[in-house]
Amino acid sequence: MAIIKIENVVASTSLGVKLDLNAIALALDGAEYEPKQFPGLIYRLKEPKTAALLFASGKVVCTGAKNLEQLKAAISKVVKQIEAAGIVINDEPVIVVQNIVATSDLGAKINLNATAITLGLERVEYEPEQFPGLVYRLDSPKVVMLLFGSGKLVCTGARKSEDAETAVDKITEELKAAGLLA
């Protein structure tokens, strides 16, 4: 079983109220809000090291967490600071994970040309002159794997860490079965 490392968890929630982003920008130290450039307010937390994007609709997107606990802590902190700024939030935010990005190392170099042919061209994109990695789309779990000749890989699109683990195990088995990984 390959070791995977979660690099980023992206999740969204709704605070259930409309947000006055101008007022929040003034109240939250370090908040960035330039509506001509981007419709959301960017609020970076030092601990846990994450960023929250707040929108006038009350939607919040949080990125940068390394696990679910950090994600929940970050959203909780943002909610507390918004409440401290005088905005009442009645509902407990329901957090929905949108994307988990994980990395792994298969421990051996991979011949990407042979891998592209073996895995089937209908699920593979490999144009080495455009991008050095092979893009492999799995149906189950529904994730995208970026495979590199070094044996390193990136898994994106997972909604649960188990999906990333399953995907890495699956690609490892497929490559071993095809004789492309020792």
Q: For residues 173 and 180, give the distance between their C-alpha atoms in angstroms, rounded to a whole number.
A: 10
Domain 11-97 annotated CATH 1.10.600.10: no
Fold agreement (11-97, 106-177): yes
The type of residue at 21 is L
Do the Cβ atoms of 159 and 98 come closer than 8 Å? yes
Average pLDDT of the chain, as a whole number = 94
Domain-by-domain residue ranges, the chain? 11-97, 106-177
Model pTM score:
0.90
* Residues 29-65 pLDDT 10s: 889 999 999 999 999 999 999 999 999 999 999 999 9
* Residues 108-143 pLDDT 10s: 999 999 999 999 889 999 999 999 999 999 999 999
Q: What is the assigned CATH class of domain 106-177? A: alpha beta
DSSP state of 32: B
